[in-house]
Amino acid sequence: MQINGIKVRFDCTDNKQFDAIGEFWSFMSCLYPKEELKGLGFNWADNSFDYVIGDFEGKFDYSFDIIRQTYSAAENVVIELPNHGWKVYLGKIEDIAKIYETIYKEGVLDFEIEEFDEMGNCKISILRL
């Protein structure tokens, strides 16, 4: 499995990442259909981590020039991911901080995949290697 998309590094000090990633999702959802996008969090280090918004099928041409106007440090990437071993959490977008509190009680993640729909639902798939 692989995700093709745009990678940005986010600061997670004082939970800043929730608003910043929400803004990234809003921006990308203006360019591409939200229900077809996935968010991948990985590479946690020093109160920051990498986050990719993209898709698994490689069906979108991520208009890099447009994206770089807002996210100057953005990178166009393809990330290989394991096919098996993912644990899934379902909920509502407004409860995402509580969902992550539950997830992190079990320890640090290697990968997380977020999916959202227009009805306010979220699906979070996590993997600890």
Q: What is the pLDDT of residues 65-100, one digit of tens each?
A: 888 889 999 999 999 999 999 999 999 989 988 998
Q: Which domain holds residue 29?
A: 2-127
What CATH number is associated with residue 65?
3.20.80.10
Comparison of pLDDT for 19 and 15, the residue scoring more: 19
Q: Each residue of 100-120: pLDDT tens digit?
A: 899 989 888 899 999 998 899
**Closest residue by Cα to residue 50 from 91, 81, 83:** 81
The residues, any chain, with a CB within 8 Å of residue 104's CB and separated by 6 or more, are none
CA 18 to chain centre: 11
Report how many domains make up the chain: 1
Angle at 111 between CA 116 and CA 76, to 5 degrees: 75
Enter the pTM of the model: 0.88
Work out whether the CA dihedral 105, 127, 114, 8 comes out positive or negative: positive
Residue 111, judged by CB atoms within 10 A of its CB (0-12, 13-18, 19+), counts as buried
Please tell me the predicted confidence (pLDDT) of residue 52.
97
| Residues contacting residue 11 through CB under 8 Å, at least 6 positions apart | 17, 20, 47, 48
More confident: 68 or 52:
52
> Across the chain, what does the average pLDDT equal?
90
User: 45 vs 63, which has greater pLDDT?
Assistant: 45
Residue 58 pLDDT class (50, 70, 90 cuts): confident
Chain centre to alpha carbon of residue 23 = 12
What's residue 107's pLDDT? Answer: 85
